[in-house]
Structure 1
């Protein structure tokens, strides 16, 4: 089959690879109909090469049709249309029963000291082949494959795989009071959905992004937006009676604008031989922290900062004096996708499309254009906000 593979830093290509097969009785194999490029895929494209092997199949936002099931699969059937959460979890262990599917004790990657296995996301998370491909194996299919209807288009459902529950969890973790103001830093796909979810839940939403097209899209959904020019923290405070938002979702993460020296250091580490680069990243790695520190400064005293953007630094400086003095609460983590799907599925299937699943994608293409569109998405060119591939 054809699949998008990692070949080196800033180098991905579509190659012929082996078809997936049933490896365990609880597996299924799906024919992929849609697969999105996620912002966290760009971390693999740019930075996390030391934890990838040439030929790894990328992608973790996937949906399709079941073609084959193992002998132990009882709920999912051949022919079912399914969305696949990016987290591979069992649904029955101590952590899963508490809604912490990213910490699943069945698929947890103990060798690396990391959480549950993820599709297409480095040896740190199981090196499971991803879904930017014609087919994909789905472990523990009865719990992980979300069976959906056949009447609505893929774009109504696809984002249940990652960015929609990630945004939902981000807003939930922001712990807003009923009359609270939500701040959103970054209006990429997760930030767009976080802002819309805030509005859907009845909150005022103020958001920051340097890209005009992204601000314009958010404004269509009633979001108040600000550019990065000037003193962003002061502007957010001025818009909220001098206090700052009650909760702030950082939807940017480790590749925030600014701190160019850290970006150069990250790239330099990526050029080291893999064993040295891995050691550097897991013991002394640092992120660009502009987004996080802006969130800490902007949130009101006694408020909550919710980190949805990915951070991987192990030596990141943290302004504990400010956090302690302001009595800030911090919530964070990979999204526990399966925890939120029952709440989100009715909204996705609502005829009015209240979260705008059909108003996000700017680029759709076949798999062959994936390498080009990785660059377009990374560089924020051609008004690119979200890319969906149709293998």
Structure 2
């Protein structure tokens, strides 16, 4: 089959790789009909390269048609249309029973001290072949896949369901973790795909939402979906924190959701961290891994802005991915302001019951149909990665068609 493979830092290519097979009784093989490029894929493309191996198959936002199932899979049959959550979980361990599928004890990558295995996401999370491919082997298919209606049955295209694999439940969890009081204010930092959905979800739930992003096309998309979006400065020199406080009676928002993560732009600190990330990327993989696992290499503009902007007694919700183990944080400010923090990989299956009716609502209340900016064949994925990373051609979300 054809699959997108990692070849080196900022280098991916579509290659012939072996077709996946049913190996365990709980496996399924799915023919991929749509798969997306995620912002987290760009971390593998750049910062997390030391954890990648040449030939790794990328991708963790897939859906498709079941082709084959193992003998223990009774919930699926060949021909079923399914969305595949990005985290691989068993559904019956201590963590899964508590709705923490991203911490599944059956698939935890213990040699790296990591949580549940993820599709297509480096040795940190199990080096499991991903879904930017024609076919995908799905472990624990007796629990993970989300069965959805056939396109011909209800008229809903792949893209209405596809984002249930990751970014839509990730945004939903981020807003739930933000714990915004009724009628309160939520600030969303970053209007990439997760930030777009988080802002729309906040509006859908009745909050006042203020989003922040430096890219005009992203702000325009937010405006189209009823979200107030501002730039880093307002043209007169007022920075993000000042603007957010001015819009919230001088206190700051009740909650701030960081949808940016480790590669944030902004501030001199960000420039220093970017230089550090670049330097680490030049080291041999084993040494680079050691530095990343003991050093502070994240660009922290977004999380520091969240700490500064949120009101006293408020909540900071982190949906953006961070990878440093020794990042310097303003502990005195965090303590003095009596802040709460919630964060972590999304527990996808925990939120599907809430989200599926919204996804299937004909009125499309979250504007799911207004997110994808580029649809390209799998063979064009290398150019799509470069376009997404550089935000060229107004690129916000790319869907690949194997």
- 1:132-281 superposed matches below 5 A: 132-150=132-150, 151=154, 152-229=156-233, 230=237, 231-258=239-266, 259-281=270-292
Is residue 7 from structure 1 mapped to residue 7 from structure 2 by the alignment?
Answer: yes
Is residue 325 from structure 1 mapped to residue 336 from structure 2 by the alignment?
Answer: yes
1:32 match: secondary structure? strand
Q: Under a length normalisation based on structure 2, what TM-score does the superposition of the two structures give? A: 0.96
Corresponding residue for residue 77 of structure 1: 77
Cα distance in 2 for residues equivalent to 1:124 and 1:308: 18
Q: Deviations over 1:123-164 (max 9, x none)?
A: 111100000000000001021010000131001000000000
Q: Deviations over 1:259-281 (max 9, x none)?
A: 11211211211111111111111
Question: Please, what is the CA RMSD of the aligned residues?
Answer: 0.7
2:73 match: secondary structure? coil
Structure 1 residue 179: deviation in Å? 1.3
Is residue 117 from structure 1 mapped to residue 123 from structure 2 by the alignment?
Answer: no
My pick for the range that moved more, 219-228 or 170-179, is: 219-228
Cα distance in 2 for residues equivalent to 1:211 and 1:42: 18
Q: Under a length normalisation based on structure 1, what TM-score does the superposition of the two structures give? A: 0.99
My pick for the range that moved more, 209-218 or 221-230, is: 221-230
Cα distance in 1 for residues equivalent to 2:292 and 2:388: 25
| Structure 1 unaligned blocks of 5 or more | none
Q: Deviations over 1:99-146 (max 9, x none)?
A: 111110000111111000000001111100000000000001021010
Q: Deviations over 1:299-349 (max 9, x none)?
A: 011000000000011110010110111111000001011100111011000
- 1:228-377 superposed matches below 5 A: 228-229=232-233, 230=237, 231-258=239-266, 259-377=270-388
1:338 match: secondary structure? helix
Corresponding residue for residue 130 of structure 2: 130
**How many aligned positions are there?**
391
Structure 1 residue 70: deviation in Å? 0.6
Structure 1 residue 285: deviation in Å? 3.8
Cα distance in 2 for residues equivalent to 1:47 and 1:323: 27
Cα distance in 1 for residues equivalent to 2:177 and 2:318: 9
1:129 match: secondary structure? coil
Is residue 44 from structure 1 mapped to residue 44 from structure 2 by the alignment?
Answer: yes
Cα distance in 2 for residues equivalent to 1:10 and 1:158: 25
